[in-house]
A = this chain, B = another copy of it.
Amino acid sequence: MMQEISRRPIGIFDSGLGGLSAVREIRTLLPRETLVYFGDTGRVPYGTRSTQTIRRYAAQDIRFLLSHADCKAVVVACGTVSANALDVLCAENDIPIIGVIDPAVTAAQHATKNGRIGVIATPSTIASGAYERALHRVDPTISVTSAACALFVPLVENGFVDADDPIPRLTAERYLEPIRASGADTLILGCTHYPLLAPVISRVLPDVTLIDTGREAAHRLHALLTERNLHTASDTPGSSSFFVSDEPQGFANAAARFLGISPEEGLPAVSRINIEEY
């Protein structure tokens, strides 16, 4: 019975394509697991919606992953859902559900030497104060400096990620000035899009440790599968399948970029679903 459960796939979802940075980390750490990804590209962004709407969308997203793929665990690879709906999702579903905030906060707490941590994220995630609260829960003495980086998601979605490109570099310099001024030695990339800008961010803040929320969530997932004896028994590489709620072609191109798939390997297969039906 346990073996049967362990063969079931791992679900990952995000409001769009940012969660692919978590997929990349999970594929590296857990190469034999089967992955099913849903990106709600037809309803992105979530960050400007009410908590009630975010919860309804998140419930549909997870319902799709469970009904379509019968997942053994789900990674909520979305800062907005992690901040606004994780408690409800965990209460309503029997499988383990991992968000991006707590793993990143634990990693940042371990990484900082001077007790000053920066957080960058979308305006809505920063406004929610979720990272700040979580950091102060693990250590009330940590000094937190937050910065909302509204242009970072459009830059990533449109491929402006080269560290030698002055457009993302100047944008990063402007947004990261309060982080630099705070003297933070550790910076949480509080949006799953941001790891693609890590080379740019490191150019601006060369001595700061960057915390990749997708990577930390992948490590938490690995630990959880070990704890509960849920690692797949398969000894061949696991497949990844991708579902979106809008046009699949653009997503396939972005997925290839996120996952480091070369043109020779071909684009990943992406299917469109009607998420309103779930």
Q: Which positions in A face B, CB cutoff 8 Å? A: 41-43, 48-50, 52-53, 150-151, 154-155, 157-158, 160, 166-167, 170-171, 174, 246-247, 250, 276
**Count of this chain's copies in the oligomeric assembly:** 2
A154's partner among B42, B53, B154 (CB-CB below 8 A) is: B154
| Residue contact B53 to A48, C-beta cutoff 8 Å | no
Q: Given A167-B167, A170-B166, is A48 in contact with B250 using a C-beta cutoff of 8 Å? A: yes
| Residue contact A49 to B246, C-beta cutoff 8 Å | yes
Q: How far is the CA of A52 from the CA of B41 in the complex (A)?
A: 13
For residue A168, which residue of chain B has the nearest CB? Answer: B167
Chain B residues with CB below 8 A from A42, complex form: 48-50, 53
5 tightest A-B CB contacts, nearest first? A50-B247, A154-B154, A150-B158, A48-B246, A50-B246
Chain B residues with CB below 8 A from A48, complex form: 41-42, 157, 246-247, 250
Q: How far is the CA of A170 from the CA of B276 in the complex (A)?
A: 37
| Residue contact A247 to B151, C-beta cutoff 8 Å | no
| Residue contact B53 to A247, C-beta cutoff 8 Å | yes
Chain B residues with CB below 8 A from A170, complex form: 166-167, 170
Chain B residues with CB below 8 A from A150, complex form: 154, 157-158
Q: How far is the CA of A160 from the CA of B52 in the complex (A)?
A: 27
Q: How far is the CA of A155 from the CA of B171 in the complex (A)?
A: 11
| Residue contact A246 to B53, C-beta cutoff 8 Å | yes
Q: How far is the CA of A53 from the CA of B43 in the complex (A)?
A: 9
